[in-house]
Amino acid sequence: SQQGEEDPQALSIQEGENATMNCSYKTSINNLQWYRQNSGRGLVHLILIRSNEREKHSGRLRVTLDTSKKSSSLLITASRAADTASYFCATSSSYGKLTFGQGTILTVHP
Amino acid sequence: GAGVSQSPSNKVTEKGKDVELRCDPISGHTALYWYRQSLGQGLEFLIYFQGNSAPDKSGLPSDRFSAERTGGSVSTLTIQRTQQEDSAVYLCASSLAGGREETQYFGPGTRLLVL
């Protein structure tokens, strides 16, 4: 079962622009994670934000979390063609079982 | 060091046949997860192994699906009497100890097509 919705489902931008993806979830959480997937294969962990955090940065990535609205956003600044991928949010059970959102397909045009 | 590996990369089979998918986790990782990614259902959890504990099989979609993990390392996911709806990418991941904040490292997946 999916944790919730991600929007937009697809996003197309030019290199240098910022990309923002949103994720909503249904249950209370301990943390929320973002993953990236290239070409429909293995996922790569990007960033984790805990439920008591509101914002977190990692390089060009900025993640926010609003537990009152059960939503999170991922911002990629100064996007590059190499950022083209699918991005998924996921919540984690006590033993790490991940429940994923539906994902956003990001295309960055050179 | 080496990451999570999976084999085969691609598998085409006929409806009704059995298939075995293999996962080699990162050495030293005690937690191993199987997920499935399909167009209709997105990314779904299938099964979780932690050390010598009984696995969490709550995500397996039917009794045609089974998995084992031998010696706390390599895992095999077996699908018996495959159906067309089993067509998907099967992803394996491992983490150091299975904690909720631990990074999971994913393999490249096995793309299964059932004709």
pLDDT attached to residue A4: 63
pLDDT attached to residue A1: 44
Tens of each residue's pLDDT in chain A, 110 residues: 446 678 899 999 999 999 999 999 998 899 999 999 998 678 999 999 999 999 999 999 999 999 999 999 999 999 999 999 999 999 998 888 999 999 999 999 99
Distance of alpha carbon B94 from alpha carbon A74, whole angstroms: 24
**In the structure encoding, which two tokens stand for residue A45, read together?**
């962990």
Nearest CA in chain A to B92: A42
pLDDT attached to residue A105: 94
Residue among A7, A63, A9 nearest A32 (CA) = A63
**DSSP code per residue over chain B:** ----EEE-SEEEE-TT--EEEEEEPPTT--EEEEEEEETTTEEEEEEEEETTSPPB-TT--STTEEEEEGGGS-EEEEE-S--GGG-EEEEEEEESS--TTSPPEE---EEEEE-
Check CB contact of B96 with chain A, cutoff 8 Å. no
- Ranges of residues in chain B with a pLDDT under 70 are 1
Nearest CA in chain A to B3: A42
Query: In this complex, do A103 and B43 lie within 8 Å of one another by their Cβ atoms?
Result: yes
- Residue A35, min C-alpha distance to chain B (Å): 10
- Tell me if residue A83 falls in helix, strand or coil: helix
Chain B CB contacts of A39 under 8 Å are none
pLDDT attached to residue A42: 81
pLDDT attached to residue B72: 79
B42, B89, B100: residue with CB nearest A92: B100
